[in-house]
Amino acid sequence: MKNKEFIPVSKPVFIGNEKIYVNNCLDSTWISSNGEYIERLERKFAEYIGIKHAIACSNGTAALHLALLAIGIGRGDEVIVPALTFVATANAVEYTGAKPVFADCQDDTWNIDPHKVEKLITSRTKAIVVVPLYGHPCEMDSLVKLSRKNNIYLIEDAAEAIGAIYRGRKCGSIADLSTFSFYGNKTITTGEGGMVVTNNDGLHKKVRLFKTQGMDPNRRYWFTTVGYNYRMTNIQAAIGLAQMENVDKFIEKRRQIAESYRANLFGIPGLTLPVERDDCTHSYWMYSVLFENEFGADRDAAIKTLYDHGVETRPFFYPMHIMPVHKQNSHADLKLSEKISSKGINLPTFFELKEKQIKYISQIIRELNSK
């Protein structure tokens, strides 16, 4: 069963005012890090998340770095992060000179496990960074309680979870600081880009200071601290604003795609489908499945077969602690993260994915299991 049409794992969609807004930037000549679209995007994003402040920046990793800088993370500190996440979460901690400490995941949502986090807290722990992996919210009430009990900050790296909801609150509205990515494969995109959000006025001011080279906002070219050039351009913000005008449509389509996958893949022995807890709304940045031992083929064979049939997929992230760059920082039992990482793949999940393509992908997986 060969398919001539290549189905990518993701691709951006531009169905709104993107070209109009970008052309406005070009006509105005405001193309760099000043211009009306930056402020408009920040206002729109803060309103959508339900939070007081939103600060646009150059990418999601920069957003994480800014959040850590704002709370004073530095050399000698420890920051607890998920073992099962994209490397940027741990790298941003390293940028500050602090040490990432890896926590294992839950077996159903694959998110960081609050009970395992608690066991890792020491006198050096200054923050916890949590990641709603592939779009399912973390167990935020337990994590907030844990951070308050130990007088440490909570940061949510919500790069994959715009539109996800935990007990009536949007991801990004609960932690002390939250960050988002607008990379080209995200639910909304600016090409490259990111956002830091917070309800804390003081943290908001610090993020803005660090993102603009440390320049005093009230005294041009007067620098009060070492800062960074983490600014977003007006052109990127113009694209982002147009994307935000359709964000609900994008998320609803992803949820429809997820429901179609579930209907077509349900009941296949050895195939674990993603959960959606009753108190959460999954944003399905990716539709992610596990190929368990009883499935008819292993994960890597499934990836190859799907690719041979014109379907691009992505394996789950490698756990941080098994990679050379972070291996020395592991001092916990992280077997569940290792197991889930080795079994998971992300199937195509993008706005223009058609029902017939979902059926085609699902049929390949069913036939794999029957061999």
Q: pLDDT tens digit string along 214-248?
A: 999 999 999 999 999 999 999 999 999 999 999 99
Q: With pLDDT > 90 as the criterion, what percentage of the chain qualifies?
A: 94
- pLDDT tens per residue, range 62-96: 999 999 999 999 999 999 999 999 999 999 999 99
Asked whether 299 and 292 are in contact (CB, 8 A), the reply is no
Contact status, residue 294 vs residue 270, Cβ threshold 8 Å: yes
Q: Kindly provide the residue ranges of all beta strands, DSSP E only, lying in 136-183, ordered along the sequence.
A: 153-157, 165-166, 169-170, 177-181
Q: What does the block give as tokens for 154?
A: 């909570």
Instruction: State the distance between the two ends of the chain, measured CA to CA, in whole angstroms.
Output: 14
**Helix (H, G, I), strand (E, B), or coil: what is residue 236?**
helix
**Residue with structure tokens 């807890």?**
277
The interaxial angle of helices 60-70 and 88-95, nearest 10 deg, is 40
Predicted pLDDT of residue 329: 64
**The two structure tokens encoding residue 202:** 């003081």
pLDDT at 2 over 70: no
Band of residue 327 on the pLDDT scale cut at 50, 70, 90: confident
Burial class (CB in 10 A: 0-12, 13-18, 19+), 247: middle
pLDDT of residue 296: 82
Domain 247-370 has CATH 1.10.274.100: no
Q: 126-174, pLDDT tens digit by residue?
A: 999 999 999 999 999 999 999 999 999 999 999 999 999 999 999 999 9
d(CA 290, CA 298) in angstroms, rounded, equals 10
DSSP code for 215: B
75 is written with which tokens? 């050399």
**How high is the mean pLDDT of the chain?**
96
Q: What local confidence, expressed as pLDDT, does residue 1 receive?
A: 44
Integer Cα distance of 4 and 7 in angstroms: 9
Backbone angles phi, psi at 170, to 5 degrees: -65, 145
pLDDT of 119 > 60? The answer is: yes
Residue 189 pLDDT exceeds 90:
yes
φ, ψ for residue 166, nearest 5 deg: -115, 115
> How do the domains of the chain map onto residue ranges?
18-244, 247-370
Task: Provide mean pLDDT across the span 4-25.
Answer: 96
- Once rounded to an integer, what is the mean pLDDT over residues 325-349? 90
β 194-198/169-170 pair status: unpaired
- pTM (2 decimals)? 0.96
Main-chain dihedrals φ then ψ at residue 60, nearest 5 degrees = -70, -35
Place of tokens 């009536």: 168
- Residue 331 is predicted with a pLDDT of 67
Cα separation, 318 vs 86, in Å, equals 8
Q: Give 114-127 as a DSSP string.
A: HHHHHHH--TTEEE
Tell the CATH topology of 18-244: Aspartate Aminotransferase; domain 2 (3.40.640)
pLDDT of 117: 97
d(CA 191, CA 29) in angstroms, rounded, equals 20
Tokens of 256: 């429809």
| Rounded CA separation 332/352 (Å) | 42
Pairing type for strands 125-130 and 78-82 reads parallel
pLDDT band at 359 (very low <50, low <70, confident <90, very high): very high
Tokens of 201: 């006025």
* Residue 175, both tokens: 């932690």
